[in-house]
Amino acid sequence: MKLCKYCNTLMMSEYETNAQNSHRYKGFHTCPKCGAVCDDEVLENKKDKPILKERWYNPSTKEFE
Share of the chain above pLDDT 90, in %: 57
Quick check: is 28 in a domain? yes
What is residue 22's predicted lDDT score, i.e. its pLDDT? 66
Q: What is the mean pLDDT of residues 13-26?
A: 77
Secondary structure of residue 4 in the 3-state scheme? coil
Quick check: is 7 in a domain? no
For residue 43, the enclosing domain spans 12-60
Q: What is the mean pLDDT of residues 40-59?
A: 85
63 pLDDT exceeds 70?
A: yes
Higher local confidence (pLDDT), 16 or 7: 7
What is residue 19's predicted lDDT score, i.e. its pLDDT? 60
Quick check: is 31 in a domain? yes
Q: What is the mean pLDDT of residues 36-63?
A: 88
Burial class (CB in 10 A: 0-12, 13-18, 19+), 44: middle
